[in-house]
Structure 1
Amino acid sequence: MTDQPKFLLGLGETLTSPSQYRSGPNDGQPPYTVEAQRDYLRAQLDAQATVFEELPPEACPGGNVVSMMTLHPSFYSRSNFPDELLREAQLRFIGSMPKFVKPRLGRGHDYPGGAASTVLFLAGTKKSFTHLAHRISELQSDDPLARDIIKIETIEAQTREERVQSDLSKKESNLEVVVHFDPLQDHVWEDAFNDFAQACGLKLSSKVYQSRGLLFISARGTAAAAKRVADFSFVRAIRPMPVLRPVDAPKVLRTAKPSPRIVLPPEGPLDPDCKVAVFDGGLPEDHPFSQWATRIEPTAKDGIGAATPEGLGHGVAVTSALLFGHMAPGLQSRPYCHVDHYRCVGADTDAAMYSAMLYVDKILNASAYEFVSLSIGPDEITGHDKVSAWTTMLDDHFHQSSVLGTIAVGNDGDQPPPLNRVLVPGDCVNAIAVGASDSAGEGWKRAPYSSVGPGRSPGLVKPDLLHFGGIAGDEFSVLMPGGALAGLTGTSLSAPSVMRVAAGVRAHFGRTFTPLAVRALMIHSAERGEHPREEVGWGLAASEVGDIAICPENSVRILYQGVIAPSKVSRVAIPIPAGGIDGKLSIRATFCYLSETDPHAPGDYTRAGLGITFRPHSGKFPARPKDAPAGWKPHPDFPKSDSFFEGVGRKTEQAMRIDALKWDTVRDATVRKMGSSLKDPVFDVHYMARQPGYKNAPSNMPHLRYALVVTVTAPKHPSIYEEVLQSFTSLKPMLPITELPIQVGGS
């Protein structure tokens, strides 16, 4: 008798129930007294006022200036936002950026590099800051404003030196100008800024991208002109316009003996309704993928320019990788999906990278793709204190339309730090950033050229996944016009290869799996090994759909597709057979969700976070606290917690953000236990919402959709799959709608 595959179990969300929220301890006593802060901050405000007075009036629209207020590391959390100070001084929060701070006293003062904190950008009139200085000089400890004054480490004017952070060319060059901009409030000075820039000699383009809190503008000018424009109060940054990453055409593979010919399948895609949008160098008219790919050209108005041979060659390689993967001579497997290939690279792209970005934005605005793959982007490394226009544009689309995106992280991994870091837009938090491995078999490791992490925080784990991208001597094989095989290496091939497997999950299982669930399954099924996380992320992606959808030996895998209301807690049961588990076991869990983002506050980039508490045994409770009152008893609904994801327990805000990935859109971890230590194990999942510039959680946040995948593996309990099905009757095997190409053994 042939054994049937043990497909992963779905409807895990039926094992969830509401729970209560239990807050943890606060951060303790403030490091400074009001008396110590009065003279210290008054001197800084006086120095700031001197800088403001030296600015030309036309650089201060409506008399407004911008200050940089750095918070003490002890107050690095949403609940410590100094809203009373802003109301009192009539200041407006317009953005923030993360910064390591070495304070005079308190947390971080004895750390060599200081502790993580944040810099607030505050806009207001010169009179507002003068009023604040007077209030501070006469402040008493019982004043409501005192609670916020003790949170401040420094306050200083934002100057042209802070805004122009890169060396600019003395000759006229392409620049990117980033401006603090709220269209509801700041439109009153938009024309004044254009006039000011023109008077300074900087030419602002009509190519702009508006995101929450920031306006990205393409410009052209000299370093001298840029520095003059940097005096304008609402300028956030002026930097060189990045150029397009180099795209290489594949080289035809030549061997001493004639290679067997490539045979393409006669059928169209397995799922013709599954369409992947590819943005790359385009396809030539004679491309060999007519049954499975549509060639789409930009219009003259899009500013891309004519196609280039290198771009077309790159586009063919990317499309081949997405349709067929790493090719070998002979009959090819049937592609899973259809590809709509949009050419966004051309002769004019380097001169105006915004043309390519705005073209991608236009297509995504006018379409309803659930799957998108990009192997192009700016030649710009990820920065911890900034978000690019490319990144925020894609994160917006992927969140709003629930898109699964794969993005190549770049091929600079063999460069010295920090030039070896992930390239933009590989820092997207709502996409899978893909690096390259040197093989797909045992002994795999990161390909030397594959760019490394970390990403920004939130979004610290980048790349998310690796996939084979070819190496010298073992190139990734793709199909070229005329039927010849060609070889190439790069993350440009590994990213569409991951998308190919993701499309395979959709093709075989239909819309049973949302794109978010597919993302969680891809990350969950990855093989991590012992490699550093900054090199491989969550691990090597699976190459076959069966590796994702079929439970490993002696394991049971469960998919949850749930929803949590803001500030609520959902108790998620981890299925364990009713009779328990013999011997040792491991539990791997992967949470994924999509989040609205705020590019003007990169340190607080995501608006949604998860606080996850693991409670392994329903009959074990915390020990009695030393200061517990008489008659204290443990709460029966809150068994003792244990470590699972990093950072569980009493941790600082810094540790929860960085170690525990508190605000990251992916959480993945594995724990090993004895079966006897588990009884009715659960996760308590708390949906935390925030909005930059507000102390309290926003009341208008939508419900959070998440995907969770849990695999329980018990080597000495081979019947775990069947026993979980018997114990949890609401779970059902997720059966494919088309047969998976797998070998099933046994008799």
Structure 2
Amino acid sequence: MAEKERFLFGRGEKLTDNVPYKGSFGEGDPPYNLQEQVERVDEMLEKLINEISETPKDALADGKAVAALILHPQYVARSGFPDDLLSEFSLRLIGSKPLKNRPKAGRGSDNEDGIASTVLFVAGAGEDFKRLKRSLPNITEGSNLGDDIIKIENLESLKPSDRILGSLDKKSNTLEVIVHFDSAIDVGWEGDFQKYAKKSKIKLDMARSYQSRGLLFLSAEGSEESVKELAKFSFVRAIRKMPVLRTVSRPQMLRNTGMSRISIPVEKALDESFKVAIFDGGLPGNHPFGLWAKNIEPSGSFKIGAPLPYFLDHGQAVTSALLFGSVKAGSLDRPYAEIDHYRVLGDKINDSSLYEVMLYVDNILSQTSYPLISFSIGPDEVAGDDEVTAWTSMLDDHLGDGDILAAVAVGNDGTSSWPQNRIQVPSDSVNALAVGATDSSQKGWSRAPYSSIGPGRSPGLVKPDLVAFGGSSKESFKFIFPGPTIAEDSGTSFATPSVVRLAAGLRAYFGAALTTPAIRSLLVHSADSSGHPIEEVGWGIVNNDIRKITACADGEVKVLFTGKLEPGKVLRAPIPLPEGKLAGNISIKATFCYTCTTDPHTPGEYTRAGLDVKFRPHKEKFNKAQKKKDPRFPATDSFFGRHTKSNEQELRTDAHKWDTVRSASVKKRGTSLLEPVFDIHYIAREPGNSDSPRRAPKLNYALVVTIQAKQIPDLYEKVQERYKELVAIEPKIQIPIAVSV
């Protein structure tokens, strides 16, 4: 081992360069010829137009009906969007969702279960659809309209029953009503919708609503019959029972004399330059965290109510977990940062309080700027594949810029049957870390049975992102309570703040040298799955030792790349290796993380940013199919999944391109590597546009690369000698020998 400790290198972005974009895949032969397709679409339009004519006029938002246009699976790529068709006939895309579809012909027609496709919700007046029908005979082969007509697998009206999700009580229901609504376009019919709701005997609470891109989420009350009436309104996307908040457990007090030998620190937090936010049950007046934690009471304008003992106990436990982790006998480590604990639970919380709590959290996040946030609460609702909830939308809206790292508990229903054991909202947020729990903090750990499992939605399939010790019947999670006394419990509620504690430690030791995306990447990059299924543990259990996350062993080098990616451009990132021939096997691990704007009204295309990453391991090796060898584009090899697939359908199924976290590793013979690089193509998209948007924002990203070469013990020094631009990121103060969570 070297005398001086080796810490990961920063400024990897100084090694990067832009290269031209190369490569694309075609859509293949059309599944239908134009003549037969025109006949099919004509029949669909005939039925659709008749159904629109039978719809009450006051149920049409601004006179417009909504049709479901199902794309043939061959055209799920952004370039397959039928924008010429919609534009020509004044049809407006107001949303979409993924679905499995078995087409009549072409790709997927031989698959009984169907393959991934998309249904577009398009709005238009009855006359617009009639004009399309009249124009069908005049559409010519090879024209833009002809190409777009081929893409249609089905076109049909939306029935009221399609908009009602789940069962309802006959007499009275607290409801969540989701409406397609763009605040810049749709204000003209907002009053008409309220009148229609009143006519339908639905009581809308317009004051308790959340507006996200393309969707308006509303709280309401009504009977089953009134819901059926409201579901006739054309721009209603979904109506369902309002989800309730998850229940929280009350930690049990321990009488264990062996745990009485605990010494609470008397120093202030290690880094007082930032604070961490917790949203939970609050802190009692006698809590033992006065040096580091502040309880913030809810605003009177939100119906949270007075504190309740079991909510306060849960809040204390979560706060203790973030300050100290699971406590053990002896002197506790000094907390890394101070905490603002927002009490969002109280005695007025009931089955209709979901929006009260959500809107209070939204209000706080809109007025503050915390780098780290911990959520152990949320709706008692599993993530779905084809709808995005208000909570998830709200959270992703706040996290999209990449300045905040939020960790969200995945829930404690892991022992239920599928799909009730799936991760709970809002841990399906693509811009947050979803955290599950393990049953032990020692080797031989497994997912705690109660910890909810993935996958998440697509994009965002790998959920949970991480797992951490959360306690179990064989090894409980322990907290400091007033006295001081010890309490114990188990749950993802406590694993989550433990991960945030680790993130706070990285920020406290390394300061501004580690951006928020960099901290997220390092946590994922250093996680270990220990062979457990990805749907149970995500990328793996967090590494509790900050030194191991950031330091390099013999024969190892870690490099951090951060910065902004330009839309449509390709950034070439070299993988730093010594010059000359490399002995033995070389292991390369890479983790990408970014955050981005999201579109809840198009959940199948939820993220507006994607990365197409190509790995080129040897600069002098080329694909045999290349007629002319271009030295700028050596052969690619697999790294992040099956990126060599030939069509968008398969990429969509693999769910790689549009995921905000990507992590993988390969092992290569040293002789097979020569100036290896990653080519990183940032693909921007927006709903309803087959081309890249002109004004897409730059993308904040972080990439961590670890190279291991057992036969080159001085790998770190050789890389440092060759790449003068790289600078070691050293801690501001010395890291203790062992840091436990």
Q: TM-score range by the shorter chain?
A: over 0.9
C-alpha displacement of 1:553: 4.0
1:115 matched to which residue of 2? Answer: 115
DSSP 3-state at the match of 2:707: strand
Structure 1 residues 294 and 382: CA distance shift in structure 2, 3 A: same
2:680 matched to which residue of 1? Answer: 685
C-alpha displacement of 1:441: 2.3
1:203 matched to which residue of 2? Answer: 203
2:604 matched to which residue of 1? Answer: 603
1:80 aligns with 2:75: no
2:58 matched to which residue of 1? Answer: 58
DSSP 3-state at the match of 1:98: strand
TM alignment of 1:5-84, pairs within 5 A? 5-84=5-84
Q: 1:700 aligns with which of 695, 710, 727?
A: 695
Taking only the aligned residue pairs, the percentage that are identical comes to 48
The answer on whether the counterparts of 2:481 and 2:487 sit within 8 Å (CA) in structure 1 is yes
The 2-side partners of 1:201 and 1:114 are apart by 40
DSSP 3-state at the match of 2:130: helix
1:647 matched to which residue of 2? Answer: 642
Structure 1 residues 520 and 62: CA distance shift in structure 2, 3 A: same
1:266 matched to which residue of 2? Answer: 266
TM alignment of 1:444-523, pairs within 5 A? 444-523=445-524
The answer on whether the counterparts of 1:648 and 1:660 sit within 8 Å (CA) in structure 2 is no
DSSP 3-state at the match of 1:742: coil
2:632 matched to which residue of 1? Answer: 637
1:387 aligns with 2:388: yes
The 2-side partners of 1:260 and 1:482 are apart by 10
1:725 aligns with 2:720: yes
DSSP 3-state at the match of 2:301: helix
DSSP 3-state at the match of 1:505: helix
The answer on whether the counterparts of 1:561 and 1:706 sit within 8 Å (CA) in structure 2 is yes
1:620 matched to which residue of 2? Answer: 621
The 2-side partners of 1:565 and 1:727 are apart by 28
The answer on whether the counterparts of 2:25 and 2:647 sit within 8 Å (CA) in structure 1 is no
DSSP 3-state at the match of 1:192: helix
C-alpha displacement of 1:660: 5.3
The answer on whether the counterparts of 1:402 and 1:594 sit within 8 Å (CA) in structure 2 is no
Of 575-584 and 225-234, the range deviating more from structure 2? 575-584
1:406 matched to which residue of 2? Answer: 407
Give CA-to-partner distance per residue, 1:101-149, whole Å, 9 cap, x none: 1000111111121110100000111111111122225534254311100
Of 458-467 and 22-31, the range deviating more from structure 2? 22-31
1:440 aligns with 2:435: no
The answer on whether the counterparts of 1:452 and 1:463 sit within 8 Å (CA) in structure 2 is yes
C-alpha displacement of 1:402: 1.6
1:183 matched to which residue of 2? Answer: 183
1:234 matched to which residue of 2? Answer: 235
The answer on whether the counterparts of 1:521 and 1:548 sit within 8 Å (CA) in structure 2 is yes
The answer on whether the counterparts of 1:368 and 1:401 sit within 8 Å (CA) in structure 2 is no
Structure 1 residues 682 and 660: CA distance shift in structure 2, 3 A: farther
C-alpha displacement of 1:42: 1.4
C-alpha displacement of 1:344: 0.9
Give CA-to-partner distance per residue, 1:671-717, whole Å, 9 cap, x none: 01011110100000001000011111001011112100000111222
Which letter maps to 2:178? V
Structure 1 residues 86 and 3: CA distance shift in structure 2, 3 A: same
Of 399-408 and 329-338, the range deviating more from structure 2? 399-408
TM normalised by structure 2 equals 0.98
The answer on whether the counterparts of 2:116 and 2:653 sit within 8 Å (CA) in structure 1 is no
The 1-side partners of 2:625 and 2:55 are apart by 61
The runs of 5 or more residues in structure 2 that have no matched partner are: none
The 1-side partners of 2:554 and 2:531 are apart by 21
The 1-side partners of 2:208 and 2:372 are apart by 27
The 2-side partners of 1:651 and 1:416 are apart by 36
Which letter maps to 1:719? D
DSSP 3-state at the match of 1:94: strand
The 2-side partners of 1:142 and 1:451 are apart by 50
The 2-side partners of 1:660 and 1:99 are apart by 14
1:740 aligns with 2:735: yes
C-alpha displacement of 1:165: 2.1
The 2-side partners of 1:23 and 1:694 are apart by 21
The 2-side partners of 1:504 and 1:591 are apart by 21
1:221 aligns with 2:222: yes
Which letter maps to 1:712? I
The 2-side partners of 1:536 and 1:710 are apart by 22
2:667 matched to which residue of 1? Answer: 672
Which letter maps to 1:307? P
Which letter maps to 2:346? G
The 1-side partners of 2:690 and 2:2 are apart by 60
The 1-side partners of 2:348 and 2:159 are apart by 34
2:338 matched to which residue of 1? Answer: 338
DSSP 3-state at the match of 1:220: strand
1:420 matched to which residue of 2? Answer: 421
C-alpha displacement of 1:8: 0.8
1:359 matched to which residue of 2? Answer: 360
Which letter maps to 1:340? D
The answer on whether the counterparts of 1:645 and 1:660 sit within 8 Å (CA) in structure 2 is no
C-alpha displacement of 1:222: 1.1
C-alpha displacement of 1:558: 0.6
DSSP 3-state at the match of 2:635: coil
The answer on whether the counterparts of 1:208 and 1:216 sit within 8 Å (CA) in structure 2 is yes
The 2-side partners of 1:549 and 1:258 are apart by 34
The answer on whether the counterparts of 1:460 and 1:658 sit within 8 Å (CA) in structure 2 is no
The answer on whether the counterparts of 2:645 and 2:651 sit within 8 Å (CA) in structure 1 is no
Structure 1 residues 508 and 203: CA distance shift in structure 2, 3 A: same
DSSP 3-state at the match of 1:606: coil
The answer on whether the counterparts of 2:402 and 2:595 sit within 8 Å (CA) in structure 1 is no
1:558 aligns with 2:559: yes
Structure 1 residues 186 and 624: CA distance shift in structure 2, 3 A: closer
Structure 1 residues 248 and 155: CA distance shift in structure 2, 3 A: same
The answer on whether the counterparts of 2:615 and 2:637 sit within 8 Å (CA) in structure 1 is yes
C-alpha displacement of 1:509: 0.6
The 2-side partners of 1:670 and 1:509 are apart by 26
The answer on whether the counterparts of 1:274 and 1:506 sit within 8 Å (CA) in structure 2 is no
Structure 1 residues 305 and 401: CA distance shift in structure 2, 3 A: farther
Structure 1 residues 117 and 562: CA distance shift in structure 2, 3 A: same
Give CA-to-partner distance per residue, 1:384-412, whole Å, 9 cap, x none: 10111111111111113621111100011
The 2-side partners of 1:231 and 1:585 are apart by 62
C-alpha displacement of 1:529: 2.0
The answer on whether the counterparts of 1:616 and 1:642 sit within 8 Å (CA) in structure 2 is yes
The 2-side partners of 1:743 and 1:485 are apart by 23
1:253 aligns with 2:247: no
Give CA-to-partner distance per residue, 1:281-320, whole Å, 9 cap, x none: 1111111101000100002211112222221111111100
2:3 matched to which residue of 1? Answer: 3
The answer on whether the counterparts of 2:461 and 2:659 sit within 8 Å (CA) in structure 1 is yes
DSSP 3-state at the match of 2:188: helix
1:95 matched to which residue of 2? Answer: 95
The answer on whether the counterparts of 2:259 and 2:486 sit within 8 Å (CA) in structure 1 is no
Structure 1 residues 509 and 217: CA distance shift in structure 2, 3 A: same
C-alpha displacement of 1:739: 0.8
The 2-side partners of 1:83 and 1:558 are apart by 43
DSSP 3-state at the match of 1:96: strand
Which letter maps to 2:719? V
2:169 matched to which residue of 1? Answer: 169
The 2-side partners of 1:31 and 1:523 are apart by 42
The answer on whether the counterparts of 1:10 and 1:558 sit within 8 Å (CA) in structure 2 is yes
Instruction: Count residues in correspondence.
Output: 737
The 2-side partners of 1:401 and 1:187 are apart by 31
Deviating above 4 A after TM superposition, structure 1's stretches of 4 or more consecutive aligned residues are: none
DSSP 3-state at the match of 2:536: helix
DSSP 3-state at the match of 1:300: coil
1:628 matched to which residue of 2? Answer: none
The 1-side partners of 2:168 and 2:553 are apart by 55
The answer on whether the counterparts of 1:370 and 1:401 sit within 8 Å (CA) in structure 2 is no
1:212 matched to which residue of 2? Answer: 213
The 1-side partners of 2:307 and 2:554 are apart by 50
Which letter maps to 1:216? F
1:575 matched to which residue of 2? Answer: 576
